[in-house]
Structure 1
Amino acid sequence: MKIGLGLPTADPTALVTWARRADASRFSTLALLDRLVYDNPEPLVALGAIVGATTRIRVQTEVLIAPVRETALLAKQAATLDRLSGGRFTLGIGVGARDDDFHAAGVDPRQRGRRLDEQMAQLRRIWAGEPHAENVGPIGPAPARSGGPEVLFGGFVAATVERVARWGDGFLGAGAPPEGMDGLFRAVERSWQEHGRSGRPRLVAQANAVLGPDTVVDEARKNIRAYYQFFDNPDQVADAMLTTPEQVRAAITGFTDIGADEVMLYCWSADPDQVDRLADVVF
Structure 2
Amino acid sequence: MKIGLGLPIDDPAALLSWARRADAGPFSTLGLLDRLVYGNPEPLVTLAGLAGATSRIRVQTEVLIAPVHNTAMLAKQTATLDRISGGRFTLGIGVGGREDDCLAAGVDIHRRGRRLDGQMALLRRVWSGEPYGDGVGPIGPRPATPGGPEVLFGGFAPAALERVARFGDGFLGAALPPHLMTGLFRDVEAAWEKHARPGRPRLVAQLNVALGPAGTLAHARHNIRDYYAFTGRAGHMAEGLLTTPERIRETTDAFFAIGADEVMLYCWSSDADQIDRLADAVF
TM-score of the two chains, using structure 1 as the length reference: 0.99
Name the counterpart of 1:224: 224
Provide the secondary structure at the position in 1 that maps to 2:230.
coil
The 5 A counterparts of 1:66-105 are 66-105=66-105
Identity of aligned residues (%): 68
Provide the secondary structure at the position in 2 that maps to 1:37.
coil
1:182 deviates by: 0.3
Provide the secondary structure at the position in 2 that maps to 1:266.
strand
1:149 deviates by: 0.2
Name the counterpart of 2:241: 241
Distance 1:71 1:233 in 2: 32
The 5 A counterparts of 1:155-166 are 155-166=155-166
Distance 2:275 2:194 in 1: 40
Name the counterpart of 1:250: 250
Provide the secondary structure at the position in 2 that maps to 1:26.
coil
Superposition CA RMSD, Å: 0.5
Distance 1:202 1:91 in 2: 13
1:135 deviates by: 1.9
Distance 1:30 1:201 in 2: 20
Deviations 1:39-96 (Å, cap 9, x if unpaired)?
0000000000000100000000000000001101000000000000000000000000
Distance 2:90 2:40 in 1: 19
Name the counterpart of 2:46: 46
The 5 A counterparts of 1:19-38 are 19-38=19-38
Distance 1:168 1:181 in 2: 19
Distance 1:30 1:282 in 2: 16
Q: Aligned AA for 1:257?
A: A
Name the counterpart of 2:191: 191
1:143 aligns with 2:143: yes
Name the counterpart of 2:118: 118
Deviations 1:9-39 (Å, cap 9, x if unpaired)?
0000000000000000000000000000000
Q: Aligned AA for 2:248?
A: V
Distance 2:210 2:233 in 1: 20
Distance 1:274 1:184 in 2: 29
Q: Aligned AA for 1:99?
A: E
Distance 2:37 2:134 in 1: 35
1:231 deviates by: 1.7
Distance 2:168 2:183 in 1: 19
Deviations 1:196-217 (Å, cap 9, x if unpaired)?
0000000000000010000000
Distance 1:44 1:54 in 2: 15
For structure 2, the residue ranges without an aligned partner over 5 or more in a row are none
Q: Aligned AA for 1:105?
A: A
Distance 2:280 2:138 in 1: 47
Q: Aligned AA for 1:136?
A: V
Provide the secondary structure at the position in 1 that maps to 2:268.
coil
1:106 deviates by: 0.8
1:125 deviates by: 0.5
Q: Aligned AA for 1:97?
A: G
Name the counterpart of 1:64: 64
Name the counterpart of 1:11: 11
Name the counterpart of 1:214: 214
1:232 deviates by: 1.7
Distance 1:137 1:97 in 2: 33
Distance 2:131 2:81 in 1: 21
TM-score of the two chains, using structure 2 as the length reference: 0.99
Name the counterpart of 1:108: 108
1:233 deviates by: 2.6
Q: How many residues align?
A: 283
1:133 deviates by: 1.4
Name the counterpart of 1:133: 133
Deviates more, 1:253-262 or 1:231-240: 231-240
Deviations 1:87-136 (Å, cap 9, x if unpaired)?
00000000001110000011110110000000000000011100111221
Q: Aligned AA for 2:215?
A: T
1:263 aligns with 2:276: no
